[in-house]
């Protein structure tokens, strides 16, 4: 058994493909512990090691950020990659400024949300992207980087082609073979020479996540998973001893939907495309999970709506999702405004003329949020979301009315701040809640291309996602039998189509073209394939 | 407004004072960061106040165009709109009219300019300028001045100076009639270009209006004139301006310039420099500026500046990490902006402490030696300090 320090405990009785409640925690070898992550929950997306648009003080105050994925590839611009040079016991955490007692970091080589076409991998290396261009990363490199950075979770290298076409059977088989081989290689104990000690090789204490590959071929996916639980013999087993199957060395499973989505020929699909795609992916996920033990954490990357998240909770039993969709919404000026369970139409906060709810679409469903670029928000001097109260709302919080704790809706003036001379006054004795940032102000910031617009929207949208998952967990805890009914009600209430995002993107592109380019132009480039058909 | 001098430097003309306005007390001398469009770029109001800053500047010209006064009025004023609870100063928009508008024609009535968005012609009069600033609700408001570049010569300079005085009178009239004199304080702007005689005449006239004016700004500089000339004009103004009114040097932001201005008796200054240079990756430190884009910082795991209390340095964010994200992630702009604003505040805080302790000349020497290091500090700075 590898010295796995990840603990994932499932709390309810569950079927193999059904909603589950879980708790993820880590006991680190240095004795520090991490907060417990309740599942279903989410992983925050990062770019170049930061949560986009958030300075560290804002990351600290956004409690929604607990588990973050760090793509390593941006650091390949230098040799050796700089985080591997950071001194200390937890280099990745220290370099990026995520306190170990508050944050769990997962390390992947590639950015899961970058769907750009890449040069092909081969059996010797994976192609990765950094600002200086494509870099070839061998399995040995990857192991060394992971061992040097000491993330809490690390994703083993896998071979997934990023090309816009259906893959041949041969390509898929190759991908499976390589991925299996690379996982085996990754699970080898650290060579004695690396630890500099005389004793025999030690397990490397990394918690390994594996991508369940196999493309859109259900049988291939099942085959890959069977390979994970196959008992190893002879030399193969010697290499990874003391474990006997690859799965023993694995802490969790990842479903990466972006490459699947890219490889699908959606033109030939009938409507409703989104629902069909979701069902297809759920089936593929089940094919992957069928042979595998149920008590390991299941992670899904690149879901494209809260509706899809609910379906994967219901139909597959996925534990962790990403918040990239919500963060992308912030980049294009959308303030999310939805809850789970869905807010009943007749609730007073949904019908407040001073805080109008999102737009009703022609299909009778509400938008999932507000496109704050729209002119109608220029005069709405009210908090961002109708679904949530803000920190200074006079209405008392009841079971039905929740406060959004984010830095936009519930800002507060700190009790301690800097003074610079003996002549300076100190203003506050205690933390004082402030009025929320308004839709009209955000509208103004977006139109004047001010960066703080994205800062406020990211904090808000992550908090809405946090509340969404808290709502899922609450239903699963108190009345699991009603989950499916609530899922259906959510789907009836909120619009799953991309109309809101499309409109916002158009307005955002217009504003951006009137100014200079920067990170956001590149970001748009890399994620463009996710949100456009 | 209450303006109280609490300490004076025995050697220079520097003084420490407290300025009590409707949204709190600000200790002077101070540097005012610029929140051009109702935001310090990249930061929230809570982040700015956490840095120990309690006086910032909004641009009237920009806010008048976007979001426009209807929205500002609906929101209850600029403080509420941007969530800023402390002191706010608005400039008149005179400078932007000349620098940003494609067409501006100055007449006695006001400034006729075309909107950068729809080309529509608008007349900005001193009266209208007051009205806009009343709607914004800033604690300190500036008169509309007839701005000419400091490099302009000839009769235009004198014409602009006299018109500025006449416009001051119109601003005073409008402001006094508004009933807002208790909550909003009008500053005059001394003009006259680089001509000592014109400056002198302007000073005399404006000082005659002392009882109807809360403070004095020194305008018409920072246009590219030589530093030695700049100091001379500042000194001429501060020599004559009344002691019991705050003195505001517009568009000054380099630490060395701030210190000389303070030595010459200036109390406040504003500039986009520290925030703008932050976004370009340059961090200001007591040992000089650091260009964090440079590869020499790629493996430097120390903070921007040891001992700096800003959120970036106190969290231990390394130069190496900043080097990795600078100009590529907005988070880098935010981090360096927070640092640079704290740098400016620390420079001025150190100034206040030194003046109170009677060690201001020593503070100047130490600061310059450390900031310019081996290069030695610029001659003009030395001259400027001597003048003070």
pLDDT of B114 reads 80
Which two structure tokens, joined as six digits, stand for B124? 């900005």
pLDDT in tens, B6-32: 999 999 999 999 999 999 999 999 999
If we measure between CA atoms, which residue out of A107, A104, A106 comes closest to residue A32?
Answer: A104
**pLDDT (average), residues A394-415:** 81
Is the four-CA dihedral A421, A427, A431, A435 of positive or negative sign?
Answer: negative
pLDDT of A397 reads 60
Residue A198 pLDDT > 50: no
Q: By CB neighbour count within 10 A (0-12 exposed, 13-18 middle, 19+ buried), where does B385 fall?
A: buried
pLDDT of A117 reads 86
What is the residue-averaged pLDDT of chain B?
93
Q: Is residue A167 within 8 Å of residue A148, measured between CB atoms?
A: no
CB of B229 within 8 Å of any CB in chain A?
no
pLDDT in tens, A292-306: 999 999 999 999 999
If we measure between CA atoms, which residue out of B291, B292, B271 comes closest to residue B341?
Answer: B271
- Statement: A4-322 belongs to CATH 1.10.10.60: no
CA distance B302 to chain A (A): 10
CB-nearest to B52 from A417, A435, A441 is A417
Q: Is residue B67 within 8 Å of residue A378, measured between CB atoms?
A: yes
Please tell me whether B315 is known to bind a ligand: no
Q: Where are the alpha helices (DSSP H) in A269-428?
A: 273-289, 306-315, 324-331
pLDDT in tens, B95-148: 877 777 666 889 999 998 887 777 788 888 999 999 999 999 999 999 999 988
pLDDT in tens, B304-354: 999 999 999 999 999 999 999 999 999 999 999 999 999 999 999 999 999
pLDDT in tens, A304-318: 999 999 999 999 999
Q: By CB neighbour count within 10 A (0-12 exposed, 13-18 middle, 19+ buried), where does B88 fall?
A: buried
Scanning B271-310 for CB atoms below 8 A from A yields 298-299, 301, 309-310
Which two structure tokens, joined as six digits, stand for B225? 């004139």
Q: Where are the alpha helices (DSSP H) in chain B?
A: 45-50, 60-65, 69-75, 78-82, 94-100, 126-136, 155-178, 196-208, 227-240, 255-263, 273-279, 311-314, 319-325, 330-357, 360-372, 379-387
Report the alpha-carbon distance of residue A424 to residue B27 in Å, rounded. Answer: 6
Name every chain A residue with its beta carbon within 8 A of the beta carbon of B315.
56-57, 97
Instruction: Give percent of chain A with pLDDT exceeding 90.
Output: 66
pLDDT of B112 reads 87
Catalytic residue annotation of B: 91, 270
Neighbours of A111 (CB within 10 A): 24
Residue A5 pLDDT > 90: no
Phi, psi of A189 (to 5 degrees): -60, 160
Please tell me whether B237 is known to bind a ligand: no
CA A468 vs. chain centroid, Å, equals 14
pLDDT of A529 reads 34
**pLDDT (average), residues A92-107:** 95
Distances (CA, A) of B46 to A385, A412, A431, B90, B303: 20, 7, 11, 20, 23
If we measure between CA atoms, which residue out of A274, A332, A334, A265 comes closest to residue A307?
Answer: A274
Q: Is the ipTM of this complex over 0.85?
A: yes
pLDDT in tens, B60-103: 989 999 999 999 999 999 999 999 999 999 999 878 777 776 66
Which two structure tokens, joined as six digits, stand for A30? 């240095």
Name every chain A residue with its beta carbon within 8 A of the beta carbon of B80.
435
Of A243 and B235, the structure prediction assigns the larger pLDDT to B235
pLDDT in tens, A19-55: 999 999 987 666 767 789 999 999 999 999 999 999 9
Name every chain A residue with its beta carbon within 8 A of the beta carbon of B50.
57, 414, 417-418
**pLDDT (average), residues A350-355:** 91
Q: By CB neighbour count within 10 A (0-12 exposed, 13-18 middle, 19+ buried), where does A321 fall?
A: buried
pLDDT of A201 reads 54
Q: Is residue B105 helix, strand or coil?
A: strand
Distance spanning both ends of chain A, measured CA to CA:
45
Partners of residue A211 on adjacent β-strands: A254
Distances (CA, A) of B304 to A420, B255, B263, B343: 19, 17, 28, 11
Please tell me whether B358 is known to bind a ligand: no
Q: Where are the alpha helices (DSSP H) in A246-386?
A: 257-263, 273-289, 306-315, 324-331
Among the ranges given (A250-259, A416-425, B13-22, B34-43), the one the predictor scored with the smallest mean pLDDT: A416-425
**pLDDT (average), residues B201-230:** 92
Q: Is residue B246 within 8 Å of residue B19, measured between CB atoms?
A: yes
The nearest alpha carbon in chain B to A95 belongs to: B321
Which two structure tokens, joined as six digits, stand for B378? 């610029």
CA distance B49 to chain A (A): 7
Q: Where are the alpha helices (DSSP H) in A164-244?
A: 169-187, 192-195, 218-229, 234-240
Which helix (H) or strand (E) segment is A105 a member of? strand A104-108
Report the alpha-carbon distance of residue A254 to residue A263 in Å, rounded. Answer: 18
pLDDT band at A161 (very low <50, low <70, confident <90, very high): confident
CB of B25 within 8 Å of any CB in chain A?
yes
pLDDT of B384 reads 61
Please tell me whether B37 is known to bind a ligand: no
pLDDT of A262 reads 85
Report the alpha-carbon distance of residue A99 to residue A209 in Å, rounded. Answer: 22
CB of B314 within 8 Å of any CB in chain A?
no
Q: Is residue A289 within 8 Å of residue A298, measured between CB atoms?
A: yes
pLDDT band at A533 (very low <50, low <70, confident <90, very high): very low
**pLDDT (average), residues A49-74:** 97
What is the residue-averaged pLDDT of chain A?
88
Per the listing, tokens 């500042």 go with B234
Name every chain A residue with its beta carbon within 8 A of the beta carbon of B335.
55-56
pLDDT of A520 reads 46
Is the four-CA dihedral B211, B214, B215, B216 of positive or negative sign?
Answer: negative
Report the alpha-carbon distance of residue A190 to residue A142 in Å, rounded. Answer: 13
Among the ranges given (A120-124, A157-161, A164-168, B207-211), the one the predictor scored with the smallest mean pLDDT: A164-168
pLDDT of A368 reads 97
pLDDT of B104 reads 80
pLDDT of A200 reads 52
Inter-helix orientation angle A499-513/A324-331, to 10°: 40
Which two structure tokens, joined as six digits, stand for B266? 């200036």
Q: Is residue A428 within 8 Å of residue A413, measured between CB atoms?
A: yes
Residue A79 pLDDT > 70: yes
CATH 3.20.20.105 range(s) for chain A read 4-322
Neighbours of B386 (CB within 10 A): 11
If we measure between CA atoms, which residue out of B361, B345, B371 comes closest to residue B263?
Answer: B361
Which two structure tokens, joined as six digits, stand for A127? 């192609």
Report the alpha-carbon distance of residue A14 to residue A313 in Å, rounded. Answer: 12
**How open is the CA angle B164-B167-B168, to the nearest 5 degrees?**
85
CB-nearest to B317 from A56, A440, A455 is A56
pLDDT in tens, A489-498: 999 999 998 9
Residue B226 pLDDT > 90: no
pLDDT in tens, A408-464: 999 988 766 788 998 887 765 567 889 999 999 999 999 999 999 999 999 999 999
CB of B237 within 8 Å of any CB in chain A?
no
Please tell me whether B249 is known to bind a ligand: no
pLDDT of B101 reads 64
DSSP string, B233-275: HHHHHHHHS-TTS-EEETT--SHHHHHHHHHTT--EEE-SHHH
Report the alpha-carbon distance of residue A508 to residue A506 in Å, rounded. Answer: 5
Strands (E), A357-479: 369-371, 388-389, 402-403, 412-413, 432-433
pLDDT band at B266 (very low <50, low <70, confident <90, very high): very high
Residue A3 pLDDT > 50: no
CA distance A110 to chain B (A): 17
pLDDT in tens, A117-159: 888 888 899 999 999 999 999 999 999 999 999 999 999 999 9
pLDDT of A382 reads 97
Q: Is residue A321 helix, strand or coil?
A: strand
Give the contacts of B32 (CB within 8 A, at least 6 positions apart): B55, B56, B57, B89, B268, B269, B270
Cα dihedral value A282, A283, A288, A294, nearest 10: 60
Q: Is residue A440 helix, strand or coil?
A: helix
pLDDT of A166 reads 63
Name every chain A residue with its beta carbon within 8 A of the beta carbon of B81.
438, 440-441, 444
CB distance B67–A440 less than 8 Å? yes
Which two structure tokens, joined as six digits, stand for B355? 């003046």
pLDDT band at B375 (very low <50, low <70, confident <90, very high): low
Which two structure tokens, joined as six digits, stand for A241? 């001893």
């Amino acid at each position: 058994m590898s010295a796995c320090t990840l603990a994932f405990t499932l709390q309810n009785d569950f079927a193999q493909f059904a909603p589950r409640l879980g708790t993820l925690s880590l006991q680190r070898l240095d004795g520090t512990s991490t907060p417990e992550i309740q599942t279903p929950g989410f992983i925050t997306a990062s770019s170049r090691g930061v949560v986009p648009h958030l300075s560290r003080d804002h990351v600290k105050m956004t409690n929604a950020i607990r588990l973050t994925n760090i793509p390593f590839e941006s650091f390949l611009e230098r040799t050796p990659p700089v985080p591997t040079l950071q001194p200390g016991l937890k280099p990745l955490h220290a370099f990026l400024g995520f306190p170990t007692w508050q944050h769990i970091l997962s390390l992947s080589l590639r950015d899961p949300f970058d769907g750009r076409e890449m040069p092909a991998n081969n059996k010797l290396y994976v192609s990765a992207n950094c600002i200086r261009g494509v870099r070839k990363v061998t399995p040995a490199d990857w192991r060394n980087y992971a061992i040097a950075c000491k993330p809490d979770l690390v994703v083993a290298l896998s071979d997934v082609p990023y090309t816009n076409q259906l893959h041949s059977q041969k390509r898929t088989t190759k991908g499976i073979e390589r991925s299996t081989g690379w996982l085996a290689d990754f699970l080898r104990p650290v060579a004695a020479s690396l630890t500099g000690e005389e004793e025999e090789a030690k397990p490397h204490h990394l918690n390994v996540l594996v991508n369940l590959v196999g493309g859109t071929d259900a049988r291939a996916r099942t085959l890959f998973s069977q390979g994970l639980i196959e008992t190893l013999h002879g030399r193969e087993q010697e290499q990874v001893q003391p474990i006997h199957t690859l799965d023993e060395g694995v802490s969790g499973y990842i479903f990466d939907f972006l490459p699947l989505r890219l490889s699908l020929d959606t033109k030939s699909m009938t409507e409703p495309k989104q629902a069909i795609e979701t069902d297809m992916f759920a089936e593929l996920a089940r094919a992957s999970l069928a042979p595998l033990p149920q008590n390991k954490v299941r992670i899904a990357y690149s879901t494209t709506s809260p509706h899809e998240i609910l379906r994967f909770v219901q139909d597959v039993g996925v534990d962790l999702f990403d918040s990239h969709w919500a963060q992308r919404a912030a980049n294009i000026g959308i303030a999310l405004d939805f809850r789970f369970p869905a807010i009943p139409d007749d609730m007073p906060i949904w019908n407040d003329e001073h805080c109008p709810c999102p737009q009703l679409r022609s299909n009778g469903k509400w938008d999932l949020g507000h496109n704050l670029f729209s002119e109608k928000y220029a005069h709405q001097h009210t908090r961002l979301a109708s679904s949530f109260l803000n920190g200074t709302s006079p209405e008392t919080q009841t079971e039905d009315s929740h406060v959004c704790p984010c830095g936009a809706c519930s800002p507060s003036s700190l009790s301690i701040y800097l003074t610079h001379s003996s002549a300076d006054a100190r203003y506050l004795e205690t933390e004082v809640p402030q009025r929320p940032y308004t839709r009209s102000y955000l509208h103004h910031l977006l139109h004047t291309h001010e960066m703080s617009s994205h800062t406020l929207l990211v904090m808000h949208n992550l908090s809405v996602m946090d509340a969404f998952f808290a709502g899922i967990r609450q239903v699963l805890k108190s009345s699991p039998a009603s989950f499916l009914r609530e899922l259906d009600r959510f789907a009836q209430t909120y619009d799953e189509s991309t109309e809101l995002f499309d409109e916002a993107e158009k307005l955002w592109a217009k504003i951006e073209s009137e100014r200079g380019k920067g990170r956001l132009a590149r970001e748009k480039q890399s994620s463009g394939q996710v949100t456009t058909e | 407004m209450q303006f109280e001098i609490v300490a004076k430097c025995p050697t220079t003309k520097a003084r420490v004072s407290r300025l009590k306005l409707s949204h709190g007390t600000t200790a002077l001398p101070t540097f005012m960061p610029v929140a051009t469009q109702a935001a310090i770029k990249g930061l929230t109001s809570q982040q700015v106040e956490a840095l120990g800053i309690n006086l910032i500047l909004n641009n009237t010209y920009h806010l008048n165009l976007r979001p426009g006064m209807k929205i500002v009025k609906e929101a209850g004023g600029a403080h509420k709109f941007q969530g800023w609870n402390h002191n706010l100063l608005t400039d008149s928009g005179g400078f932007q009219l000349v620098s940003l508008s494609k067409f501006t024609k100055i007449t006695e009535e006001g400034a006729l300019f075309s909107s950068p968005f729809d080309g529509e012609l608008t007349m900005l009069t001193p009266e209208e300028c007051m009205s806009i600033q009343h709607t914004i609700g800033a604690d300190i408001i500036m008169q509309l001045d007839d701005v000419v570049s400091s490099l302009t010569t000839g009769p235009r300079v004198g014409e602009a100076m006299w018109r500025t005085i006449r416009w001051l009178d119109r601003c005073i009239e409008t402001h006094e009639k508004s009933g807002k004199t208790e909550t909003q304080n009008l500053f005059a702007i001394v003009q006259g270009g680089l001509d000592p005689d014109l400056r002198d005449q302007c000073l005399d006239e404006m000082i005659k209006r002392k009882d109807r004016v809360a403070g004095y700004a020194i305008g018409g500089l920072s246009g590219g004139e030589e530093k030695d000339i700049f100091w001379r004009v500042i000194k001429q103004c501060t020599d004559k301006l009344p002691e019991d009114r705050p003195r505001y040097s517009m568009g000054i932001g380099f630490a060395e310039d701030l210190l000389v201005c303070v030595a010459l008796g200036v109390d406040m200054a504003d500039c986009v420099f520290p925030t703008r240079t932050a976004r370009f990756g340059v961090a200001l430190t007591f040992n000089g500026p650091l260009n964090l884009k440079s590869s020499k910082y790629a493996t430097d795991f120390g903070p921007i500046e040891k001992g700096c209390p800003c959120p970036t340095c106190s969290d231990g964010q390394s130069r190496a990490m900043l080097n990795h994200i600078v100009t590529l992630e907005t988070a880098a702009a935010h981090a360096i902006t927070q640092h640079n604003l704290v740098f400016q505040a620390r420079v001025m805080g150190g100034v206040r402490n030194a003046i109170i302790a009677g060690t201001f000349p020593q503070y100047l020497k130490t600061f310059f030696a450390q900031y310019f290091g081996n290069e030695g500090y610029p001659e003009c700075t030395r001259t400027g300090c001597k003048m003070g």
